[in-house]
Structure 1
Amino acid sequence: MPRRADVQHAFIKAIKRTPKGAQTVAVVDFLRELRELGHDWSPNQAVNYIRMYQAAWRIKDEGEYGQHIYMKFAHGITLT
């Protein structure tokens, strides 16, 4: 049975680094990590989670049907 605490772990596992060192998360990667832990979320649920619980993350690239890519920001500055 999936646990709510696994969601944060899945989000962390989905984080990637760009060649310049910025942190990004693709919704598709987050959903894949969630499925591995037993959660079957829609892209909309993943986007809502990021909006509610990951305040430092902003949309970098908008994809269709919620398949966005997010980048981590701090104090209005990109972390690179």
Structure 2
Amino acid sequence: MTSQYHPPRKHSVEIAGHKTSISLEPLFWEILRTAAAREGVPVNALVARIDVERIASPTPPGLASAIRLWLVAWLARQMG
């Protein structure tokens, strides 16, 4: 596991045929890969799903923030 205090790293993802880059701390990238594997989808598909939920929100945050929030909620569901 990477140090939780490592600065963000930028990775490219594809959402609905559109490439974009997202900056997340390595710890969040690790959790995102784990969540995608457990959900049985590729990381790009999970990011696309989070993006759809984000856009539907009354006050949509940025994509990186939405991913972090989704991951915290996902981890909470895993623990509960």
Higher helix share: 2
TM > 0.5 fold call: no
Higher strand share: 1
Return the TM-score normalized by structure 2: 0.31
Q: Identify which of structures 1 and 2 has the higher relative contact order when contacts are C-alpha pairs closer than 8 Å and 6+ apart.
A: 1
Return the TM-score normalized by structure 1: 0.31
